[in-house]
Amino acid sequence: MDVAYINPFIVSTVHTFKTMLSEDVTVGKPAVKALPFPTYDVSGIIGLSGDAQGSITMSFPKLTALKVVSKMMGMSIKVIGPELTDGIGEIANIVAGNAKQHLSNCNLSISLPNVVVGRSHVISAPSGSASIVVPFQSSLGDFAVEVTLKTK
Amino acid sequence: MKLLLVDDSATMRRIQRTQLNSLGIQDILEAGDGLDGYHVLSENMPVDLVLLDWNMPVMDGLTLLRKLRADARFASVKIIMCTSESEKSRVIDALKAGASNYLVKPFSPEALKEKLGL
């Protein structure tokens, strides 16, 4: 996968965390995902369609997810429930939507968010897709952004 | 000012409500999709302003925008599209359909204040 497809999602993640959470995040080294690759505990997934097909997944350890959504909402979220999954889905939606503007040559459409909860769940990708995982660090905890795309 | 928030994310509605409260706006209605928004607006006119998300289930924001602009009952309502998608073509589509302004998520309270003209 061309790095040009990854950078918009990195830039968008950094911008979203800074604007919504006043959090400076550190970007780790992107790596090609070897399947099957377990994610963290809570994953917000946005489907991508158009000239390229795939998804962007933002995956968080449970504690990080709780801290992120608590800070975003300005209230303490202590358990995995509707507030948490809605918040993680919205972050994924905003990151994907913002990244789209830098991928305008792809004519991409984004789906509504889905959120998967479960320890070390695996999200598979269609054959022929390439997946790249970008690790992030923040004061709220580590998380990862996974971009899976199959270009025409 | 009476305002309607239309967004399928309860988290986003809560964030926006908090920001609006800090700007002194207390009279706030909420709806979770475009169709719900249409009904809430119809039953609570006059409403001054709608903050309208784009990507929603049941009825998306652009469809609701076009529906409202085709109905004289809502001619005075200011509608601000509030979405994470910021491509120029999207902004043009929204403005052509009658949006009063366009706000890109994530946004700061200052950006919201500016778009509201406060």
CA dihedral angle for residue B15, residue B16, residue B18, residue B19, rounded to 10 degrees: 120
Percent of chain A with pLDDT over 70: 94
What is the domain count for chain A? 1
SS3 A16: helix
Judged by CB atoms within 8 Å, which residues 109-128 of A form the interface with B? Answer: 110, 112
Say what the pLDDT of residue B73 is.
95
In chain A, residues with a C-beta closer than 8 Å to the C-beta of B105 are 94, 97-98
Convert the pLDDT of each residue in A55-72 to its tens digit: 999 999 999 999 999 998
Q: How many Å apart are CA B53 and CA A59, to the nearest integer? A: 24
Say what the pLDDT of residue A36 is.
63
CATH number of the structural domain spanning residue A68? 3.40.1550.10
Strands B49-52 and B78-83, by their bridges, are parallel
A76-95 burial string, b = 16+ CB within 10 Å, else e? Answer: ebeebeebbbbbbbbbbbbb
Mean pLDDT of B84-98: 87
In chain B, residues with a C-beta closer than 8 Å to the C-beta of A112 are 8, 55-57
Convert the pLDDT of each residue in B17-58 to its tens digit: 988 998 899 999 999 999 999 999 999 999 999 999 998 999
> Which residue is closest to B87 within chain A, CA to CA?
A101
Query: Is the pLDDT at A152 greater than 90, yes or no?
Result: no
Provide the token pair at B2.
Answer: 């009476």
Binary contact (B11, A112; C-beta < 8 A)? no
* Beta sheet of B78-83, edge-to-edge order: B27-31, B2-6, B49-52, B78-83, B101-104
Q: How many Å apart are CA A97 and CA A109, to the nearest integer? A: 9
**Per-chain mean pLDDT for chain A:** 88
Convert the pLDDT of each residue in A88-123 to its tens digit: 999 999 999 989 888 877 788 889 899 999 987 887
Query: Is the pLDDT at B91 greater than 70, yes or no?
Result: yes
In chain B, residues with a C-beta closer than 8 Å to the C-beta of A89 are 9
For chain B, the helix, strand and coil percentages under 3-state DSSP, each to the nearest 5: 45, 20, 35
SS3 B18: helix
Query: Which residues are bridge partners to A116 per DSSP?
Result: A43
* Superfamily per CATH, domain B2-116: Response regulator (3.40.50.2300)
Percent of chain B with pLDDT over 90: 66
Q: Where are the domains of chain B?
A: 2-116
- Give the distance from residue A87's alpha carbon to the nearest chain B alpha carbon, in angstroms: 5
- Give the distance from residue A147's alpha carbon to the nearest chain B alpha carbon, in angstroms: 18
Say what the pLDDT of residue A151 is.
73
Relative orientation angle of helices A7-21 and A82-100, to the nearest 10 degrees: 130
- Count A/B contacts: CB-CB distance under 8 Å: 64
Query: Is the pLDDT at A141 greater than 90, yes or no?
Result: yes
Mean pLDDT of A24-42: 85
Say what the pLDDT of residue A95 is.
95
A41 DSSP 8-state letter: S
Range of the domain at A74: 3-151
Q: Which amino acid is at B25?
A: I
Q: Where are the beta strands (DSSP E) in chain B?
A: 2-6, 27-31, 49-52, 78-83, 101-104
Say what the pLDDT of residue B105 is.
87
Binary contact (B57, A96; C-beta < 8 A)? no
The overall longest dimension of chain B from CA atoms, in Å, is: 34
CA dihedral angle for residue A56, residue A52, residue B84, residue B63, rounded to 10 degrees: -130
Provide the token pair at B47.
Answer: 């409403």
Say what the pLDDT of residue B67 is.
97
- Give the distance from residue B24's alpha carbon to the nearest chain A alpha carbon, in angstroms: 18
Provide the token pair at B52.
Answer: 């309208």
Whether the bond into A38 is cis, omega within 30 of 0: no
Convert the pLDDT of each residue in A7-22 to its tens digit: 999 999 999 999 889 9
A93 shares contact with chain B (CB less than 8 Å): yes
Binary contact (B9, A90; C-beta < 8 A)? yes
Binary contact (B11, A100; C-beta < 8 A)? no
Binary contact (B84, A69; C-beta < 8 A)? no
**pTM of the predicted model, to two decimals?**
0.87
Percent of chain A with pLDDT over 90: 57
